[in-house]
Structures are given as C-alpha cells and as structure tokens.
Structure 1
Amino acid sequence: MKTEHVMRGLSIAAALAALPSIALASSASSALTGVNTTEAPRVTQTVDNRVVSTLGNTHLSLIGSSVISGAVADSTPMNHMQLILQRSALRTAALASLTDALHDPSSSKFHQWITPEEFGTTFGVADADINAVKTWLQSQGFTVNGVYPNKMQIDFSGTAGQVKQAFRTQENHYIVNHVSHIANAGDISVPAALRSVIVGVAGLNDFRPQPLHVPPQVAQFNKSSNNFKIQQPASSKAGTPGNPAVNFSGGVRGFVPYDMQTIYNTSSLYTSGFTGAGITIAVVEDQDMDPSDWPNFVSQFGLGSYGGTFNQFQPQLTPSTGNCTDPGGANPDGESIETILDAEYSTAMAPGAAIWVATCADSDSSNFFGGVFTAADNLINNTNAAGRPNVISASYGYGEGFTDTPSKTAIDLMWAQADAEGISVFVSTGDSGSNPSFNGFVINDAGIDANSLATSPNDTGVGGSDTADILDGTTSKYFNSTPNAVYGTAKSYVPEITWNTSCGNTVAAQKLVGLSALQFCKTALIYDPNGYYVTSESGSGGPSAIDAKPAWQRVVHGAPKDLSRDLPDVSLFGGSYGGYSWVILCTGLYPCTPNFASPVELVAGTSLSSPMFAGVQAVLDQGLYAAGAWSPNQGNAAPTLYELARNEYGGATGSTPSTLAQCDSDNGTKGTSKCVFYNITSGGNSTQCIQVAAFAQVTPDCYFYGTIQNYLEAYGPTLVGLTSTSATKYNSNTAAFSSTPGWSFANGLGSVNANNLYSAWKKFMGLP
C-alpha cells in the first residue's frame, strides 16, 4: 500500500504543472459503504393550515428592544428565502460519525470524500417530505425556485404579505445601532404536520455578516526613509472614533507578499515545488473587484512565474435557482476592498493556485447572509466536481447574537457539507475583540460573543496577530532597512503578539509607559476626555453560545473546560498597534507602480488572516497530494491542526513537554526552527467597551473604569471600560481575553511555520 502511494505521488508530482486544477473524482465514495440511513417519510399527517405549531427562536431576540419604524408593505418582494429542513436524529448521528471517520487516519474511510448528491441522498431529508413542504409553499402562493442537492434547503420567493399569511409573522422595519433593518417581529408558525422536518426560514431579516477589515488608507512611499506616509484628507478631523492614540509621524510600514511568505515560511515550500499549483481557492464575496488588480499585484510583487490564475464569476446551481446575480463593482470606482484583499493575499501565500472570486449580489438574495452565503452555498452544492474548490475563505462575520436559529443552522449545514466533501473552509473570527459585531465601532449593549459564520465545528476560525518588533524595539533584528527586488524586508519569523489597537493592549501599555492595561486606559482618558480614541479594534475570539465543543478541540493544553466551540483556532498577521504595520493592496483607483512611484492602499484586519491561511492550506494540499495522499483535499483543517498542536504543547491534562516553552512566539527564531506552531503568549484582545447613558442600555461583560462626560461631543455621559468576564474586577484572569500558553481565546493555537506544518501533516497521514 505504501509503495503504491510513493509511485502514485511521483507521477502526480510530474503532472501537477499541466493540470488547471485538482478536483475530487465524481465516482461513488467508499465512505458510504455500510452507512444505512434508510428511513420512512416523517410527514405522515394531512397538512392543515388551521393546525399550526410555532417554531422557537426563529426571529432575532435583539429586535425586542429595538425601535420599530413601521411595518414592511405586504407587496415588498422577499426573494430567495431559504427554508431550512431538519434531518432526523438517525441521519444527524450518521453524519457526525462519518465526519469523524473522514478525519481519522486509522479509518478505512479516511479522506474518502463524498459528493453533494451523496450528501443529500444519505444525510438530507427524504424526497417525500421535501415534496410535502414544496407543495405547501406553493399552496401559499410562493414560487419554489429549487431544492438544493443537499436536500436540506429549499429556495423560494414571495412577498412580505405572503410571509405574514403563511408563517404568521409580521415583517417590520427596525432601527438597530442607528441603522435601518428588516426583520420578522416574532417566531414563525408552520402546519403541525410539517413541524418535524422544518427548522425555519433563513432570509426573514437582512442582518448580514460584514467584511472584517480595517478601513484602507491611501499612502505614498518615501524612498529616502523606505516607509509610507498616510495621506490624510485636508478635511479630516483628528477626533475620528477609533483613531490610533499613537501617531507614527515618520511614516508607516507596508508589508508585501515576500514578508508574509518569509515570516510564515511558505517560501521553503516553494523551493520544493509546492506553490498551490493545481489547487483552487475560492474567496466568497458580495461585490466584484476590478479584474485588472490581480495581474497588477502578481506583476508588482514578482509572483508571475508561479503560474497562478484568476477567475471572477457568479456560481450557479444546476438547474439554476436564479439566486446568484452579478453584484457589479468590476471597475475602479465600484470595487470592493474586501474582495481585492481576499484575492490578492490568498495568492500571496499560494502564488501557484487558481483563485476563484465567487460573487453574488446581496440585493437579489434577502436571506441573512446575502451574496456571501449564496456564493459559498452554491459552490459547495455544485454537482460538477470541477465546479467545487479545494479551499474556501470567507472573511465576513457577525456575532451569534445577531443570528436567528434558522440562519445559524444554515451556516453550520453549509460548512458541514463542505467538510464531508473535503473542502477546507477558513473564516475570519472578527476585528473587535471579544465581540465580532462591532468592527469599526465600540462594543456596547452586547457581551462576549463569537462570529456565527466561524463557530461551526466544520470550519477553521482564523484570528489576528501583530508583529512584536515595533513595541520591542527589535525591528533591525528581524527586518532589513532597505527592501529587496520584490519590496520585501523580512529576514525571518518575527515574534508575535495579539493584534489589539486599544489601550487594553497589555504589551503596549508596559512597553510604552510601564503601566498595566487598566492604568494605561485610565491615563489615556485624561488626554482624551471625549473618547475620540476609544476603540474595540482587535482580533476576535470567544465561546459559541450555540455550537458544542468538538472532541478535537479538547485535546490540547490550554483548551477551556467549557462546553462551547471556541474561537479562534489559529492566527496570522491581522494588524498592528497604533496602525503602524499594514499590507499593500493593488487596487483600481490606486494601482501598484514600480518602486511605488504612485500612491497605494494599505489595509489590515482578520480579513487578511483568513485568505492567507487558505493560501497556506493550498500549498499543503499540493504537497500532500504529491506525497501520495489519496485526495488533494483535506477537509476541515482544524482537527489535524489540534492533533499536531497536542504534540507540541501537550494534552489538556498532565505535564507539558519542553516544546511548549520552546515554541513560544516570544523566542523569535531562537530555538524555534523545528516548531510547527508559534504559541502567542503576549498581549490579549480585551478592548474598550462603552455604555451610553442616553440610550438607556446596559453593556454586559465590561469592567467600567471611567466616565466620558460627552462622548464624541455628541452623546452625553458615557461609561467606558475594558471587556471582562467580571463587572467588578479587572486583571489577567478576568480580561476578555488574555494570551496564555497553549490555546487561548486571544490567538487560538497561534501562528504556523508552514514548512514544518507540512512535514508534521505528512507524518500524521503516514506519508513518506
């Protein structure tokens, strides 16, 4: 068997360059051998609209305290709602068992991925039950656009009036955080005969995950100082909420692909011929990018020789439901910074990969996720193997507190299906510390939360780190003073801390003024009486309130002894304290030119971290397949990452190995040459939080240390604090959250050495 793997690996390696992509075979999977989920239809009674049952948690609880600004007109279109179906207990257990086996090297089903049709037939809802639901929807006047191959969701359209009549709930306009939204006022009801097969409807509200990046900055390169000067608009006011309290008047730093490749050591894999060639990475988006950006990026940073490709398109089902239309923006004036970032920095780490920019419009999909959800869902349900990617990156998010049960079920269903098909999914965990819903704002009227798009046990959540050299004063040790031919300056791995731009950054507090974070925040408030520098910008992490902790997350040192799926799993560079370090984008309005003769755009956020890790995975996929893996796909990366981390950090109980301390990120390159993970133990993502008296709201999970007399000179008296698990005290044990040895809510397992990760992954799979 092992000889067959070796010979097969050699032939694959020789042929990789000739393949446009590597996809799963469409033949029946042996993983389903012995899996018997045959069952009788569960809809056995006559469907009677007069006998109904209410489905709990099918509306957003947060709207109960929100201002209603009027009812939605009955004629308002409600397009492409998703009726989410409920599988039986038998099929739920069978899927969980199969997923475990797919990730177990000792199982005969290891990596025997299945197709969307097999997923639907084996683990979906019975055809007779689906037909019963379809017939009822049509009887209520809805148009059924199609049933997904997973047999777990029905795409249908209608009006607000039909929703009110069929589901017995009123669609209203609400004001939430000063923004107008549409949502259903109460839980929905369905005929009692259908209750056992319906979870609810995703798409009755328009709360959609938002892009997770810091607002981009336009900057001009200064050749004499080898840094960038951010161009501030003449009309800008220093007092903009969330502005960094520390200004780098001498300029800022712009990282390029070479720097990220060097820091995380993907470059060593390129010398072995592994660049992501033959692997497809899909970034899922709700707006296009100018297609000329990507070749400009590749050319500027010397990535053209690796042979990567770019394709921007709208993924469709077969037959099409019509739920994915072009969102527009494929031009300099209308493009999405998020889309550019995702496409360019997945390429930065996997320069030989095929990059798919899969976009669907929000306006034509009124479900919770809009275009991002539709793009991912349609890719995963593509019945043509060549139409499914090997890796997906989703850099959007919103807290579970902003997610109703049907919508959350739809997320988890989507990623569970991707995992069963072998698709590796990476999701940004957020940019606002212990609550991902406040990207660009300050946490208020909400407690600890986690990104609902990332808390599925079938995806890998990616948090944000910061290089420690600026605060440590060690930049010359880790970076050259002048850039090389592809504008890179990194010499090696660089020690990392948690990305946190607030005064809650414990490293900044100690290094800059010799204070604790709490003292630092109190002192800063003296010089910022109106709270203009109060911010929650930081890499996000936290426990799920919905998804249970998977067994693989319990195995490593530092894992909380809670019952929750916890985030993040891993971290890569996301941003810096004071806004000193960014990555460079090549955009339509600001294309890259030789030697940066013209301005460029700089950006940061965990929207950077996720596509970069997706790129790392693509490079691993190519290498593992060339080494003899049965499939180029690895499915959810997290179970393997945690198992490998256990070898380095130790288990959840018992003594810890010497490598726990040896692989501490603070060591930099000293003694860490063999480490798979760099354990980030400095800093934390506890950030500032506020409570505005005028809004009569209460902010939980916040330790208040002071009062702003007139927040932003507009909102009146406002309490300001730091996110904490205790409202009465604040220290390293209560901060939400501190970086600690092993796994932590601040950075998960930490970052990686990609070359060492590849070697360890091969060993885990028993490959030569």
Structure 2
Amino acid sequence: MKNELVIGASIAAALAVLPSLGLATDTATAALAGINTNEAPRVTATIDNRALTAVANTHLGLVAKTKPTETVADSLPMNHMQLVLKRSGLRANALSKLIADQHDPSSAKFHQWLTPAQFGQTFGVSDADIAAVSSWLKSQGFTVNGVYPNKMQIDFSGTAATVKQAFHTQENRYTINNAVHIANAGDISIPTALNDVIVGVAGLNDIHPDPQHTAPQVAQFNPSTRMFAVPQQPGKTNFAKSSLAKLGPDAVPFTTGERGFAPYDLAKIYGVDKLQSSGITGKGITIAVVDVESMVPGDWTNFVSQFNLGSFGGTFSQVQPQADGLTNCVDPNIASPNSDFTETVLDAEWATAMAPGANIVVATCDSGNSNNFFGGVFTAATNLINGTSRPNIISASYGFGEGSTDAASKSAIDLMWAQADAEGISVFVSSGDSGANPSFNGGVINGAGIDANSLGTSPNVTTVGGTDTADVLDGTTKKYFSSTINDVYGSALSYVPEIPWNQSCGNDVAAKSLGFADSIAFCKEAVVFDPLSLYTTSEGGSGGPSSVDAKPVWQRLVKGTAKDQSRDVPDVALFAGSYGQHSAVILCTAADPCAPNFTTPTVLEGGTSLSAPMFAGIQALMDQGLSEAGLPANQGNAAPTLYALAAKEYGGPTGTAPATLDGCSSDNGTKGTAKCVFHNVVRGGISTQCYQLNGAATPTPDCYFYITNPEFLLGPGQLGLMSTDPSKKYSAKTEAFAAQPGWSFATGLGSVDANNLLSAWKSFVGVK
C-alpha cells in the first residue's frame, strides 16, 4: 500500500540489536569514563504514513501573520535540508552533566574533550533509529546525502512536492520586512512512529541570518586633522545644516569626519599589547571565521603589511569544510573567485588584529540552495565541528532574532554549539546590531518586540555585544589619545572609558552631552529638525532574554544578572561603533586597499561583527598562554569561566558587593581599572528607535511612543524607543536596556583587559 511503509529490515534490526555498549575501551577517553548512555532503539513500531503527528512550532510565527503571495512550484529544488534528530532524555542529561564537568577545574573530566565520533556514539541517536528514519526519507522520494558524525542530523534533498507529500505542508512565497521569502505555511506532520526521534526539518524557509556590521564607509584620510572625511549621505544635508547641528558636532553624523582605529589602538585599549610584547600572540591557535562568501586573500596580506603585523607569524587560508562523510559545502564564490565580502574581510582582519600570530581560517559554504536557511554559516560551522580537522575557536558574526527562527532551526543551532563545546571549541557570536531586537540591522524595529539573537542564545557559546569609547561625548579625547599618530597609525594612550554602542537618539549619554534632560527630550527635538526621520535608526549593540533557552547555572553567579529563567545575552562586549559615527575600524579591501599613509580611499567599518572576531582573537591569546602553562589549548565555551571570574570582581547576585564593583567601573579609566579583569560599563543603554505605522496589521510591542504621526518617509505612524514596559513613563528602569553595575543586557559583563584576564584564568584553573 502506498500509504503504509514497513521498513522490515530496519525494524528487525532495531528489535534484534542489543543496547549499545558505547565506545570500545581502546577508543574511550577520560571524559566518557563512568557515563552509561546505553539504550534500546526508540523506533519500534511500523512506520505508517496514515498515522501522523503534527510537530509543534515547526513553521515561522511570522508566516501566521502574513498572507502568501503565491505557492511555489512543485519542482522547486529543496537541497541540503537537515532532518534534526531528538536525543533521549537520558543522553541529553548525560551530555549536560559532562559539559559542566569539562568546565569544572575540580572534576576529573576537566578539559577532557570529545571527538565527533565519540560525541555521536555516546550522545547521538542510535544507528538503528537513524536507519529507520533514513529509509523513510528515501521512501518519500528524498535523496539522503549523508548522516553527520554527531548522529543528530541527516542531510537530505528533494523538491517542494516531496516536502508537501512527506511533511504535509505547503511551501509559499511571503513578503516579510519588504523582502520576498519562501516558507512552509504550517507545522509539519510526520509518522507517529518517528515522533520520538525527530525534532523537525531545518531548511524549509529562506530567512537567512544576517551579517552584523554597519554599512561600510569609504573615506579619505586628512593628515592635518588625522580624521577620515566621509561623504555626506544623500538626502541628509538639510538636517546636517539645521540648527540642531549647532548644539555640537556630536548631534549629527559626518560633520567632523570619522576617526579610524588601527589594530594598535584596540590592542592598547584592551591590554592585548602587553601580551603581544611578551610573546603571547595566538601562535599555534586556529581561529575559524564562518561566513557566506569568501574574500580576496590579498586583503589580509595588505592588512598585515599596512599595520606591521607580519613579524608575529600569523597565517591565512580559505576552505570549504566538509563534515566527515559528507560533501555538501560548495565554494560560494566559484563563479567570481576574486570577489570580496565585507563581513568576511572584517572577521578575518580583526581577529588577526588581536591575535596576529594565530592561524586564520575563513570557512565558507554555499549549500547548493539559496532557498535554505542554512545556506552558508550553519553549514560551514557544523561541518567544521563534525570534521577531521577542527579549529580551536569559531567566530560567527551573524544573527537573527529567535522570533524569526523556526523551532527546528533553533534546535539545530543549539545542538551544533553544544557539540562544539563538548569538543573543546570556543565559539563567539555577535549579539546583533539593532538594539533590543537583532533582526533589524540597518533598519528600524517595527512589527516586533524585544528579542535575542537565535545564534547567540545557546548556553554553549559566548555572545559578544558592542561598546563605544566615551571620550568624544565626554570631551576627554586629549586624555586618552595622542595628538599624533605613530608609525603603525595608532594614537591610543591607554584604556578608554566605554558606554554601550547606540547610534540613535535613545543614547542618553549623547542626550546629556548635548544639554538635554534625557533621551526622550533629545528624540523629540530631533523630530523638529528632521521631520522625515531620515536619521531614525535602531543601530546599536543588541541584547535581550531568550524565549527558548533556559538560564545556565553559571549565568546566575554575578551581581546584576536578570532575575529571570532565560539565557540572557550578551556575555561580554568590545568596541563596535560610535555615536555620530565618529569612530570605526579600518579595513583593507580589494576595491579600496590600504595604501601607506592612507593616500587612497579607505574603508571604515563597525558593528558587533567586529566585536565577536576581536574576542575570538583575545581567546586565542588565552589559549596560547594556558597551553604554555601546561593545559590543553582548547578551552571550550569561555562563558562559564568569564562569569566565575566576574563574580570575584562584581560579587554574587546577593549580599554586599565588593569594593571592586565600583572600582572596576569603566568610568574610572586606566588608573582605576588597571588591576581589573573586566571594565564594567555602567552608563548609557541600547534602547534604540522603533516605529509603528498607522493601521499596521502587526503592531510594534515594547515600544514607548514619544510622538504620533510624524511625516517620516516610513509612513505616518508613531515613533518611539524600545521599552520593557511602554505603559509606564520611559526611564532607566523601563528602557530596553540600560547599563548598570555588574552584568547588564546592554553590555553583559563589559569589556576585558586581556593581560589581566590571562592571569586570572591561570589562577582559576590552578596554573602559573
């Protein structure tokens, strides 16, 4: 019968095979000693296509609010989808316990990392269950491309027609945020016999995670001012010449030029220079930056030459990683091998800036299907983690809100990062570039409320937010920067106080610097001189609570952590951008290569896409330093250790705070924080602008509206700032989100002094 499938051989094998004995003794590691995950196969019933179970939340919530524009053709290819498998409760609990032990210096399993094969054999789905699922996929007309070593993913391909037949959902086209996407119209249904081992299908929609960087600026260096002249943006001249500009150059972007940071500057600011001078440069450590497109290798060579980083011995390579047993990673630039991608250039060059002795590997994939959510970043990352040659560190500067991610895709992300952690790979993810909702990079939050980056809310990664140097708004630049530039184009003298990166009028540090009582007053005044709201923006570092992942134990250790049950981000923060776009980092690109003394146009860039690879570079310094002290280079997720160290400076969630809570305030500058591991960012916030069109089908929650019906180009409606409770008066208690002593949604634990961090890390793990 066509509606019934009896997988005779697979079921017979499942029933006949004894419970798995796990790894053979000669291949087992100390990490697996005493762990018993033996269990019988869970697929034991006949797989009947007439007996179905709907899998909840396996389509995008956005789709339910949007009418489809058309159904897709049955012939539409659906390549390299991922059937995400579900491990048993026994194995899930055992994995969580192991990862906790791997990060506990008092445990015998401390730093005992797994291989992909060990991970899959012990914590994946049984071979018999995988065989049953694979046979069912083939019976539905799909091509099974392979099973990942982790035994948690099956890579398979088909068409929209096979998806409709097998999973009982229609692929449609939708217009979401002014872009056309495909997505499944409803939740999938699967045979009930498979329900215990299947989470869902990742790849049924093409909502891609976005790079988290600002729009690049091509500028010309002016040696007399030591600033880069950035052309005025079209259509913004009137506001720049308005009377508001008379309040000061900080009120309007592009009135005084832009300061370009060199690697020297941020190495000096974050104590990296001290480690570099002592030989800790990331030597021997591999950082993989995962991206959707490649870059011209000469860019990296130019960057290293321009800033005199070549003597440190770092290396550069580009790869299309393949997981063991699969060939689903295609060069995304095969048709244009000499093309550049800004995100990739930023990641590779600024990981090197912090760790000039490290091996930088650019890992890019085109999974062969542009209609797949996992068309690059996920494929590159999961293939690295499941490959035979694995990096010490991964940096992923991409993101999208959990509200824009279906449940199966989110599960796949979290499963991937947990595996990386168990293998000892440290993963750093950008928090996002649009305040309290990371899905609006380059735009304005609308039709959605507070959210967090679905790639960064896993408890097995370290999520990096964004800061801004406070010297410009504070008027203290002469105190922290030299009036001349040195031979590697740097001018920073020391650590510089920081505030959260926020380019909107919601930046209350900017508001007060310009003479306003608060950011609401500043925003209202801005509308007077900018009635079209050309400068309305949600650009700024992101942070917020997860609506999916629970708060890990280690995140409860520090004063200031939110009293919720959610995994909250970010964990830490580094420089990402500047209010008024006064400061950015320098890139060397193929179109605009860096010339000696910057005599030709140069690219300036920012965003948490900068923060994450920089912290990955700092982690490479930690790895080398700890390795030279006798520990394994791999540290796994850095966050548990970072929070344990922060608890010593900031204090625990209850009780009297130590003196170092105030002493390590970023506002104390270099002298006050000289012995601190963390620079605690305590003023400012990441509440950026949001809007709601009149008559909008989808309202904008979590938005405190301060003006109604401005004549802005987005359309008549309401303009506001993001708030945790828009029914109350906007204040530091309700804005989303304000910095505070200890941890905050604005900047996490704050930034770090890399030199002090290495010393504290060594002490934490008991080495000198």
CA contact (8 A) 1:398 1:436 kept: yes
CA contact (8 A) 1:28 1:114 kept: no
Measure, in 2, the Cα distance between the counterparts of 1:362 and 1:473: 49
Once the 2 structures are TM-superposed, how far is the Cα of residue 331 of structure 1 from its aligned partner?
A: 5.5
Measure, in 1, the Cα distance between the counterparts of 2:27 and 2:747: 40
* Matching residue's letter, 1:335: D
Partner SS, residue 403 of structure 2: helix
Residue 452 and residue 207 in structure 1: after superposition, are their counterparts in 2 closer, same or farther (change >3 A)? same
Measure, in 2, the Cα distance between the counterparts of 1:607 and 1:694: 35
CA contact (8 A) 2:299 2:590 kept: yes
Once the 2 structures are TM-superposed, how far is the Cα of residue 519 of structure 1 from its aligned partner?
A: 1.1
Once the 2 structures are TM-superposed, how far is the Cα of residue 406 of structure 1 from its aligned partner?
A: 0.5
**Aligned residue runs from structure 1 range 8-407, under 5 A:** 28-232=28-232, 238=237, 246-328=252-334, 334-361=339-366, 363-364=368-369, 366-382=371-387, 384=388, 387-407=389-409
Once the 2 structures are TM-superposed, how far is the Cα of residue 335 of structure 1 from its aligned partner?
A: 1.3
- 1:19 matched residue in structure 2: none
* Matching residue's letter, 1:84: V
Measure, in 1, the Cα distance between the counterparts of 2:336 and 2:104: 43
CA contact (8 A) 1:116 1:381 kept: yes
Measure, in 2, the Cα distance between the counterparts of 1:267 and 1:507: 29
CA contact (8 A) 2:206 2:370 kept: no
Q: Deviations over 1:669-728 (max 9, x none)?
A: 12211000000001000111100115333100011010243321xx43110011001122
Once the 2 structures are TM-superposed, how far is the Cα of residue 48 of structure 1 from its aligned partner?
A: 0.9
- 2:649 matched residue in structure 1: 648
* Matching residue's letter, 2:358: A
Give the number of aligned pairs: 734
Once the 2 structures are TM-superposed, how far is the Cα of residue 225 of structure 1 from its aligned partner?
A: 1.2
Answering whether residue 669 of structure 2 is matched by residue 664 of structure 1, we say no
Residue 478 and residue 525 in structure 1: after superposition, are their counterparts in 2 closer, same or farther (change >3 A)? same
- 1:726 matched residue in structure 2: 725
Measure, in 2, the Cα distance between the counterparts of 1:594 and 1:27: 54
Partner SS, residue 370 of structure 1: coil
Partner SS, residue 36 of structure 2: coil
Measure, in 1, the Cα distance between the counterparts of 2:367 and 2:408: 18
Q: Deviations over 1:188-221 (max 9, x none)?
A: 0111110100000000000110000000000011
Answering whether residue 495 of structure 2 is matched by residue 496 of structure 1, we say no
CA contact (8 A) 1:701 1:727 kept: yes
Partner SS, residue 640 of structure 2: helix
Measure, in 2, the Cα distance between the counterparts of 1:627 and 1:275: 15
CA contact (8 A) 1:467 1:494 kept: yes
**Aligned residue runs from structure 1 range 346-745, under 5 A:** 346-361=351-366, 363-364=368-369, 366-382=371-387, 384=388, 387-629=389-631, 631-712=632-713, 715-728=714-727, 729-745=729-745
Root mean square deviation of aligned Cα: 1.6
Measure, in 2, the Cα distance between the counterparts of 1:401 and 1:319: 33
Q: Deviations over 1:396-441 (max 9, x none)?
A: 0000000111000000000000000000000000000000000000
Once the 2 structures are TM-superposed, how far is the Cα of residue 270 of structure 1 from its aligned partner?
A: 1.1
CA contact (8 A) 1:239 1:532 kept: no
Once the 2 structures are TM-superposed, how far is the Cα of residue 457 of structure 1 from its aligned partner?
A: 0.1
Measure, in 2, the Cα distance between the counterparts of 1:421 and 1:258: 33
Q: Which runs of 5+ in 1 are unaligned?
A: 1-25
Q: Deviations over 1:253-292 (max 9, x none)?
A: 0001000100001111112211000000000000011111
User: Aligned residues: percent identity?
Assistant: 64
Q: Deviations over 1:25-45 (max 9, x none)?
A: x96421001100000000010
Once the 2 structures are TM-superposed, how far is the Cα of residue 602 of structure 1 from its aligned partner?
A: 0.4
Measure, in 1, the Cα distance between the counterparts of 2:487 and 2:694: 55
Residue 330 and residue 642 in structure 1: after superposition, are their counterparts in 2 closer, same or farther (change >3 A)? farther
Measure, in 2, the Cα distance between the counterparts of 1:522 and 1:36: 63
Once the 2 structures are TM-superposed, how far is the Cα of residue 312 of structure 1 from its aligned partner?
A: 0.7
Q: Deviations over 1:377-409 (max 9, x none)?
A: 000001x2xx10000000000000001110000
Measure, in 2, the Cα distance between the counterparts of 1:564 and 1:36: 30
Residue 199 and residue 240 in structure 1: after superposition, are their counterparts in 2 closer, same or farther (change >3 A)? farther
Residue 399 and residue 683 in structure 1: after superposition, are their counterparts in 2 closer, same or farther (change >3 A)? same
Farther-moved stretch of structure 1 (631-640 vs 513-522): 513-522
* Matching residue's letter, 2:324: T
* Matching residue's letter, 1:689: C
TM-score, length of structure 2 as denominator length:
0.94
Q: Deviations over 1:464-513 (max 9, x none)?
A: 00000000111011001111000000000000000001111010000112
TM-score, length of structure 1 as denominator length:
0.94
Farther-moved stretch of structure 1 (703-712 vs 72-81): 703-712
Measure, in 2, the Cα distance between the counterparts of 1:395 and 1:297: 20
Q: Deviations over 1:586-612 (max 9, x none)?
A: 000000010001110000100000000
Measure, in 2, the Cα distance between the counterparts of 1:80 and 1:476: 55
* Matching residue's letter, 1:749: L
Partner SS, residue 760 of structure 1: helix
CA contact (8 A) 2:417 2:427 kept: yes
Once the 2 structures are TM-superposed, how far is the Cα of residue 364 of structure 1 from its aligned partner?
A: 3.0
CA contact (8 A) 2:328 2:367 kept: no
Partner SS, residue 69 of structure 2: strand
Measure, in 1, the Cα distance between the counterparts of 2:222 and 2:140: 65
Measure, in 2, the Cα distance between the counterparts of 1:617 and 1:329: 35
Q: Which runs of 5+ in 2 are unaligned?
A: 1-25
* Matching residue's letter, 2:559: H
